Amino acid sequence: MVLRPPTPDSCAPLLERLSAAGLLHVEIAWQPGEGWITGCRGLREAFPGLRLGAASIRTAEAVDAAAEAGFGYAVSPVADRSLLERAAQRDLALVPGVMSPSEVHAAMAWGCPIVKLFPAAPLGAAYWRRLREPLGGALPFCIAAGGLTAGDVDSWLEAGVDAVALGSGLFDAPGEEIDAPAASSLAAALAGLATRSSGQ
C-alpha cells in the first residue's frame, strides 16, 4: 500500500485499519523537509507491527531522508543506479521502478533482487510474463504498482507478478482527510484477499 498523506501523522487512522486487516507493508510518499522525517519516525513508533517504508524516492536528498526516518526500505518510480548506490551506503534497501525491457535488464545487471513495475495498469497483467523469455527466463521479484485496485490483485498475481501495490487514491482525494468509511471498506477487501490467498 502506498500512501500520499498531506503529513505523515494524518495517515495514522488509516494505518490502524490496515494493520487490523493484516496488511504488513505500507509506503509513505517522501516529502522534502524535516517534518516528514520526524512524522515518519512517529509512525514507526506508533505502528511497530507494520513494515513501513518510503515511496517516491527520486533524489539523493530523498534517500537520505528515508534513512534518517529509520526506514529499512524505500521504493522509487525510476531506475537510477546512483540512487541505488547511495541507498546502499545508507544501509537502505531501494527498489527501483522499471517499465521497459531495457530498464528491467539494467536492474538485473545491477543485482536488484526486487523491482517495481510502474505504471502497471497501462501495461496489462500479462506484460511481466511476456518479458521472461526475451530477458532469459529468470526475472526479479516484481511488485506491480500504478493505477491498480483491490479488484485487480488476484488477476495480476495469477498473471505472474509477485506482489501488487495499491495506492491511496483508492480512498481519499489529494490534500483531504482520509475518508473513514471508504478506508474501512478497503481494509475489509484486503482482508478478504488475504483469506482467499491463505486458502481459509
Collapse the DSSP code of 114 into the 3-class scheme (helix H, G, I; strand E, B; otherwise coil) and give the result: strand
CB 95 within 8 A of CB 113: no
Answer whether the bond into residue 174 is a cis peptide, omega within 30°: no
97 closest CA partner among 85, 109, 106: 106
Tens digit of pLDDT at every position of the chain (200 positions): 899 999 999 999 989 988 887 888 999 999 999 899 999 999 999 999 999 999 999 999 999 999 999 999 999 999 999 999 999 999 999 999 999 999 999 999 999 999 999 999 999 999 999 999 999 878 999 999 999 988 899 999 999 999 999 885 555 444 344 445 555 555 555 555 444 444 43
Taking only the tens place, the pLDDT of each residue in 129-139 is 999 999 987 89
CB 52 within 8 A of CB 43: yes
Collapse the DSSP code of 181 into the 3-class scheme (helix H, G, I; strand E, B; otherwise coil) and give the result: helix
CB 82 within 8 A of CB 63: no
d(CA 196, CA 200): 6
Domains in the chain, ordered, with CATH?
2-193 (3.20.20.70)
Each as own residue / partner, the long-range contacts of residues 184-187 (CB below 8 Å, 24 or more positions apart, any chain) are 184/17, 186/17, 186/150, 187/17, 187/18, 187/20, 187/21, 187/23
